[in-house]
C-alpha cells in the first residue's frame, strides 16, 4: 500500500527536529500575536449600535402614507355637504361595530364577523374547486403540445370575460344565489392557475426531460420527480393571483346575489345610508385581502428555493 503525506510549503522552511524534540523536549512554543488594540481587563467589546436611519426609513414612510390618507379624508369630510363621516366619527362607529361582531338578529341582520366568515367560505369553496381543476389542467396543457394547441384558443377567448358576466349563467344553471357566487369564484380563479402552471411546465429545461427519456421514467415519475418541483414557484404565483382575484370578485357577486356576506353588508349599509359602515367594510375587505396575500407569500417562500417577492 502506498500512502501519501502532504506537507504545506511552510514545513519546508522549518528546521529538522533535534534529539529529544519528539518527546516534547526543546519544542519551540508558538505564541499568539497580541491584539492590536487590547481592551482593559474586565471590559467587553462594544455591541454594534442600532442603525436609527434604517429604522426610521422603515417606519416613517408607512406612517406618512397613512397620515396623508387621513388628511385627505378629513378635508373631504369638511368640504362635504352630504354628511360624509370624518375619520374620528368612523373610528367611533368601528368601536361600536366590533364590540359585538358576531351578533345575529335574523338572516339579513348579522354582525360583520359572520359576514366576513361567509364570504371566506364561498371563496374557499370556489377557489378549492378551481385548484382541483386548474392545476392538473395546467400540467396537462404544458406537458402535451396537442392539448396546448387545443385549449389555448379557448383560454384566450374566455379569460378576458368579466367574472360578473358569468353570474347570470350560474343563477340560471344552479337556481340559487350561493352556488352561483361559488361558480363565479371558480371561473375567475381557474385562469391564473392554469396559465401559470402551464408556463412553468413549458419552461422546465429540456435537459431534465432528456434525462427522463434516457432513464425511461414513467409519466408519474416525471410528474412527481421532475415537473412538480420545477413548476412549484409558478404554480404558487398562480395561486396568489387567483386568491386575490377571488376576494375581489366575491364582494361584487354578493352585492348582486344578497344573503350573508361582506359584499351584501356593504350594499345593505348603502341602502340604509350608513356611510361610516361602508368605509369600515372597505377597510375590513382590504385587511382580509392583505392577510391572505401575506399568508400565501409565507407559504410560497417556505416551499420554494428562490425568494418570493410581493
**pTM > 0.85:** no
Contact 135, 221 (CB under 8 A): no
Tell me what the pLDDT averaged over the chain comes to.
Answer: 81
Q: Which segment of 12-21, 72-81, 268-277 scores lowest on mean pLDDT? A: 12-21
pLDDT of amino acid 149: 92
CA distances in angstroms from 179 to 40, 94, 111, 123, listed in the order given: 76, 31, 22, 11
- Give the C-alpha separation, 302 to 310, whole Å: 14
**What is the spatial distance between Cα 263 and Cα 288, in angstroms, rounded to a whole number?**
13
Q: Considering Cα of 204, then 209, then 211, then 215, what sign does the dihedral take?
A: positive
Report pLDDT for 272. 84
Give the number of other CB atoms < 10 A from CB of residue 87. 14
The pLDDT assigned to 309 comes to 47
Lowest mean per-residue pLDDT among 11-25, 155-169, 182-196: 11-25
Q: Exposed, middle or buried, 308 (CB in 10 Å: 0-12/13-18/19+)?
A: middle
Span 101-117, pLDDT tens digits: 888 887 777 888 899 99
**Residue 306 pLDDT > 60, yes or no?**
no
* Chain length of the chain: 310
Instruction: Tell me what the mean pLDDT of segment 196-210 comes to.
Output: 88
**What is the pLDDT, as a whole number, of residue 40?**
55
Provide the 8-state DSSP code for 227. I
- pLDDT: which is higher, 66 or 7: 66
Least confident of 4-8, 205-209, 270-274: 4-8
Rounded mean pLDDT, 250-271: 86
CB 198, CB 141: distance < 8 Å: yes
pLDDT > 90: what percent of the chain?
26
Percent of the chain with pLDDT over 70: 81
Output the pLDDT for position 22. 46
Whether the CB-CB separation of 128 and 181 falls below 8 Å is answered with no
pLDDT tens per residue across span 215-255: 888 888 888 888 888 888 888 888 888 988 899 888 888 88
Q: What is the mean pLDDT of residues 135-144?
A: 91
Tell me the average pLDDT across 60-75. 89
Residue 104, classed as helix, strand or coil, is strand
Find the radius of gyration of the CA atoms of the chain: 32
pLDDT band, residue 192 (cuts 50/70/90): very high
Asked whether the beta carbons of 197 and 135 are under 8 A apart, the reply is yes
pLDDT at 129 over 90: yes
Q: Which comes out higher in pLDDT, residue 235 or 12?
A: 235
Phi, psi of 163 (to 5 degrees): -60, -35
Looking at residue 110, what DSSP letter applies?
B
Q: Which of the two residues, 7 and 59, has the higher pLDDT score?
A: 59
Amino acid at each position: 500500500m502506498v500512502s501519501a503525506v502532504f506537507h504545506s510549503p511552510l514545513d519546508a522552511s522549518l528546521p529538522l527536529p533535534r534529539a529529544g524534540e519528539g518527546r516534547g523536549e526543546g519544542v519551540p512554543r508558538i505564541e499568539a500575536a497580541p491584539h492590536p488594540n487590547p481592551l482593559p481587563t474586565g471590559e467587553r467589546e462594544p455591541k454594534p449600535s442600532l442603525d436609527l436611519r434604517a429604522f426610521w426609513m422603515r417606519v416613517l414612510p408607512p406612517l406618512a402614507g397613512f397620515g396623508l390618507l387621513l388628511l385627505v379624508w378629513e378635508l373631504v369630510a369638511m368640504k362635504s355637504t352630504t354628511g360624509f363621516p370624518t375619520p374620528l366619527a368612523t373610528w367611533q362607529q368601528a368601536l361600536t361595530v366590533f364590540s359585538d361582531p358576531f351578533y345575529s338578529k335574523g338572516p339579513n341582520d348579522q354582525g360583520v364577523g359572520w359576514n366576513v366568515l361567509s364570504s371566506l367560505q364561498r371563496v374557499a369553496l370556489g377557489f378549492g374547486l378551481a385548484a382541483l381543476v386548474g392545476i392538473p389542467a395546467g400540467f396537462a396543457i404544458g406537458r402535451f403540445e396537442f392539448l396546448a394547441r387545443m385549449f389555448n384558443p379557448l383560454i384566450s377567448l374566455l379569460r378576458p370575460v368579466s367574472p360578473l358576466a358569468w353570474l347570470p349563467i350560474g343563477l340560471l344553471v344552479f337556481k340559487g344565489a350561493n352556488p352561483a357566487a361559488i361558480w363565479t369564484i371558480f371561473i375567475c380563479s381557474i385562469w391564473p392557475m392554469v396559465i401559470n402552471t402551464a408556463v412553468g411546465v413549458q419552461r422546465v429545461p429540456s435537459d431534465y426531460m432528456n434525462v427522463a427519456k434516457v432513464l425511461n421514467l414513467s409519466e408519474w415519475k416525471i410528474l412527481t420527480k421532475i415537473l412538480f418541483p420545477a413548476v412549484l414557484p409558478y404554480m404558487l404565483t398562480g395561486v396568489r393571483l387567483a386568491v386575490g382575484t377571488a376576494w375581489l370578485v366575491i364582494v361584487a357577486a354578493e352585492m348582486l346575489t344578497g344573503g350573508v356576506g361582506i359584499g351584501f353588508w356593504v350594499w345593505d349599509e348603502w341602502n340604509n345610508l350608513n356611510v361610516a359602515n361602508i368605509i369600515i367594510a372597505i377597510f375590513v375587505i382590504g385587511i382580509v385581502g392583505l392577510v391572505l396575500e401575506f399568508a400565501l407569500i409565507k407559504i410560497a417562500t417556505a416551499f420554494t428555493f428562490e425568494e418570493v417577492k410581493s
